[in-house]
Chain A
């Protein structure tokens, strides 16, 4: 069971709600994923065309809402977004994102740390999106982050775990859950992260833009479970030369 800030989740897959073709598809995919936590974004309401109310589409008794601070370019904007999210009735959870560069959407480490400190002080449960930097991970934990969310590769790029060596160090040193976020383009990427010992993964784009998002959500759920089972079962060590799995004795009849 995954536990973050004292709350337990049966699924180790967290699903983002962006980019789905319709609310109905999103709802079905999220249900198929088996997740207990979904990320959401906060935006101005279009008064002329309000559209679907996400809080009416997704049952908050079933899913923890993890509002992100997407769009924030610095700590002050992220803190303001977090407070607005709390005022929207989503509770105290926040996925902290501070991404000043629209081309890479890389998280600003300095502003992310500042915002984490401020939001923890204000009583938020803070899950910062961060580059896969083991030292920064320690600073964020010390600042009171409830979990840390290092990236596998750039958001929306489907490139998988380009940061795997840093992720291994982060996981080894972590005292809070590690949620690998961003860049997981295929179920095998999610399985790899789980095999490494990540506590959970967050997937959005790969599910939302799949030809069949509901089936892809199931595929990710199975991959996350497979990866976790493998990690808990104890994976074998890698070796440079062959190690036979058939007995090497009892071949006298051959020669």
Chain B
């Protein structure tokens, strides 16, 4: 549990600090994506993915066609609170797990 909390805050704070420093360059829409440098790499659901610098987690999810309100995300192992998605900036090497509900009754 202690590890869980500390990882969570490390992840969250890092994103927020980063966001604050570069606030002036924040992107407001995914339409900008194609004009940005895609030179940052993250690992999402086991695959290496190039993303634009400074992209927020919420914008990343929307760009993948997902509703941020219906997914859960673990960042570097820690489960994130939904309220942090908009402010969390993706960073080089971040490991994301994005999960969502699927049909299921019992077991696999």
Contact = CB atoms under 8 A, between A and B. Distances in A.
Interface stretch (A1-9, A40-48, A132-140, A229-237): A40-48
Given A45-B99, A85-B72, A50 B65 contact: yes
Contacts of B80: 87
B102 interface: yes
Contacts of A225: none
A43 B103 CA distance: 10
A47 B49 CA distance: 10
Contacts of A97: 106-107
B107 A105 contact: yes
Contacts of B74: 84
A56 B73 CA distance: 18
Interface residues of B, number: 31
Given A68-B105, A71-B107, A129-B106, 6 more contacts: A18-B105, A41-B101, A68-B106, A87-B80, A155-B106, A204-B106
Interface string A9-25: 00000011111100000
B94 interface: no
B99 A53 contact: no
Leading 7 A-B pairs by shortest Cβ distance: A16-B105, A41-B104, A204-B105, A87-B72, A17-B103, A88-B72, A55-B70
B107 A70 contact: yes
A65 interface: yes
Contacts of B99: 42-45, 84, 88
Nearest to A84: B72
B58 to A, nearest CB: 14
Interface string B63-107: 011110111111000011110000000000000011111111111
A223 interface: no
B34 to A, nearest CB: 18
A46 B47 CA distance: 10
